Amino acid sequence: MRSTAASFDHLSQYVEGLPLIDCHEHMTGRERMGDVLQFLCSGYYSHDLASAAGDRTAERILDPSRALAERCDEFLDAWRATRFTGYGIAVRYAMRKLFGIDEPTRETLEDAQKRLPDYAEPDAFESILEEAGIVARITDCWPPPAEILDGSWKPLPRQQLALSLPFLHAIRTRDDLSRLESACGATVTSLEDWLDLCGRYIRAGRDLGAVCLKDQSAYNRSIAYRMPPRAEAEAVFNRILADPRYHAEYDPDGNPLSDFLMHHLMRVAREVDLPVQLHTGHMAGVRNDVAKANAAGLRSLVEVHREVRFDLFHANWPYSGDALFLAKNYPNVTIDFCWTHIVDPVYARAMLVQAVSAVPYTKIHGFGSDVGGGLPHIAWAHAALAREVIACALSDLVEMSHLALREAEEIARAWCFDNPNRFFGLGLTGPAA
C-alpha cells in the first residue's frame, strides 16, 4: 500500500527503520510445514478461501494427501477472488520474498514446493522475525497451567507471556475445573475454592513474568458481561460441583457464573497490576456472529474496573467508531491494531487517521501479527504491510496539514514501539530519538 502524499516516501523509510513490538501472537513452537499450499494458505488466508470458494474447497486445497497439481488448479481459481484482501496481500508478500513469485502458477508453486524453508530450524525461524524488525512479541500460546504454577514454562526468544483467561470463567461442567485442579493438586469444593485457584494461577503467571491477561471469549459468547449477584453464580457452580453429569446451559448472552467469574478475574488483574487484552470485533474462521463481539458491549466492564487497563483487540473490525469512543471516553482503554492490517488494510489506514484526530496517540498499539508457529513468514508479511499502512495514514495526515513531519515521526515511533513498551512494562530500550 502506498500514499500519493508528498511525505510518504520519507515516512515509509522512517517507519521501516523502527523496531516493532508484536502485541499479539500465538507461536507455541517452531514448526516445519512440508506442503507449499499449507505453507502459504493455512491460517487466516484459508478463511478467505472458504469465504470465496466454500469450506469444502478450502479443505481440499489444504489436504496434502491429494496431488499438488490438482490442488494448485483449485487454489489458482480461488486466488483470483482473494488476492486483493489483506490476507491475500500477506500471502503475496510472502510468496514474493521467499520464492520470487509475483503471480502464482502451477509451475511456480511446484518449484516453491522444492524450496520451502524449514522453520523448525531456530536460525531460519528467528532470522525471518529479525528481518521483520520484531523485537518483542506478546504471546498467547496457552502453556499447560502446571508449567505456569511450577514456573517451568520457557518462552521462545522475544516472547512475553499473556495469560489466557477463558478456561477460568467459561465453566459449564465439572470437567471444566479439572485442568486447573490437577495443576494445583487441589480439589474444588466451593465457589470460594475456585476463586482461590484462579488467583493462585494468575499470581504464579505474574511471578513468571507474564505481561498481561488475555481473553477471547467473544468467539463463543457476548462480551457484554453483566453483574449478577454472587448467589446466582454460586447456584450454577454448586449444581456443577454436585453433579458431574450436569451441563450448564449454553447461552450466547453468557451466563451468571461466567459473568461473575470475569468480574472476579478483573479484580485479580487489578491486584497483580497486569493489563487485560480482550478480543473484540471480527473472528477467525467463517460463520460466526460479530455483533456479540462488538467492543461496545464492554462498556460496563471497563466502567466498573476503572483501575484495570484494557487493550481492545483488532480495532474492533468492523465497528471502528465504537472502539474510538471507548478509547476516547475511558482513561483505562487502549486500542490494539493486532491482526487488523491483514483483516482489512484500508479500514486500518482510515481508522488510524481518525484515531489521531479523536484519541490521544499514546493509546494506540500499532501492530500484532496474530499468527502461529509454522507461519513466521506471514508475521514478516504482516509486519511489512503494517509499516506501509502506518506510513500511509500518517502521511495522509501530513498532507492535510493535521501533522508536521516531525510529529508524524513521533506518532509512528509511539505506535510501533514506545506505547506497547510502556503499557506492557516490557522495559526495552528504544532507538535514540
215 binds Zn ion (CB under 5 A): no
Residue placing its CB nearer to Zn ion in the complex, 141 or 197: 141
State the nearest-atom distance from the C-beta of 294 to Zn ion, in Å: 17
CB of 137 to Zn ion, least distance (A): 12
Amino acid found at 209: G
Length of the chain: 433
For the CB of residue 221, give the shortest distance to Zn ion in the complex, in Å.
17
Q: How far is the CB of 383 from Zn ion (least distance, A)?
A: 15
- Shortest Cβ distance from residue 370 to Zn ion (Å)? 4
Q: Of 231, 237, 228, which is closest to residue 256 (Cα–Cα)?
A: 228
Say which amino acid occupies 300. S
> Which range binds Zn ion by CB under 5 A, 154-162, 234-242, 246-254, 369-377?
369-377
Only segment of 188-196, 240-248, 366-374, 388-396 that touches Zn ion (CB under 5 A):
366-374
Q: Which of 311, 370, 409, 418 binds Zn ion (CB under 5 A)?
A: 370
44-82: b (≥16 Cβ within 10 Å) or e = bbbbbbbbbbeeebbebbbeeeeeeeebbebbeebbeeb
Give backbone dihedrals phi and psi of 301, rounded to 5 degrees, phi first. Answer: -65, -45
CA distance 295 to 224: 8
Q: Minimum distance between the CB of residue 214 and Zn ion, rounded to whole angstroms?
A: 8
Q: Taking contact as CB under 5 A, which single stretch among the options 67-75, 314-322, 370-378, 418-426 is the one that binds Zn ion? A: 370-378
Annotate 357-383 with DSSP letters as a single string. HHS-GGGEE------BTT-HHHHHHHH
Of the two residues 22 and 396, which places its CB atom closer to Zn ion in the complex? 22
Minimum CB separation of residue 202 from Zn ion in Å reads 20
Residue whose CB is less far from Zn ion, 216 or 419: 216
Residue closer to Zn ion, measured from CB, 281 or 297: 281
- State the residue number with the nearest CB to Zn ion: 370
Q: Which of 390, 413, 414, 383 is nearest to 158 (CA)?
A: 383
Nearer to Zn ion, 153 or 313 (CB): 313
Instruction: List the interface residues with Zn ion, window 125-164 (CB under 5 A).
Output: none
Q: How far is the CB of 232 from Zn ion (least distance, A)?
A: 31
Of the candidate spans 187-195, 241-249, 365-373, 418-426, the one that interacts with Zn ion by CB under 5 A turns out to be: 365-373
Spatial contact of 121 and 353, defined as CB atoms under 8 Å apart? no
Looking at the Cβ atoms of 311 and 396, the one nearer to Zn ion is 311
Q: Which is nearer to Zn ion, 142 or 361 (CB)?
A: 142
Contacts of 273 (CB under 8 A, 6+ apart): none
CB of 45 to Zn ion, least distance (A): 15
Task: Using the minimum distance from each CB to Zn ion, give the nearer residue, 121 or 289.
Answer: 289
Q: Which stretch binds Zn ion (CB under 5 A): 257-265, 268-276, 304-312, 364-372?
A: 364-372
Count of residues of this chain found to bind Zn ion when the rule CB under 5 A is applied: 1
Shortest Å distance, C-beta 26 to Zn ion: 6
Stretch that binds Zn ion, among 116-124, 236-244, 260-268, 368-376 (CB under 5 A): 368-376
Q: What angle do CA 216, 220, 221 make, to 5 degrees?
A: 95
- Rule CB under 5 A: which of 57-96 touch Zn ion? none
Please enumerate in sequence order all residues whose Cβ is within 8 A of that of 90, keeping only pairs 6 or more positions apart, or say none.
44, 45, 342, 378, 381, 382, 385
> 375 vs 411, which CB is nearer to Zn ion?
375
CA distance linking residue 380 with residue 372, whole number of Å: 12
∠ Cα 385 391 392 (to 5°)? 90
CA distance linking residue 314 with residue 300, whole number of Å: 20
CA distance 189 to 183: 16
Beta sheet of 20-25, edge-to-edge order: 20-25, 134-139, 159-164, 212-215, 276-278, 310-312, 333-336, 364-365
Stretch that binds Zn ion, among 97-105, 253-261, 287-295, 362-370 (CB under 5 A): 362-370
Residues that bind Zn ion (CB under 5 A): 370
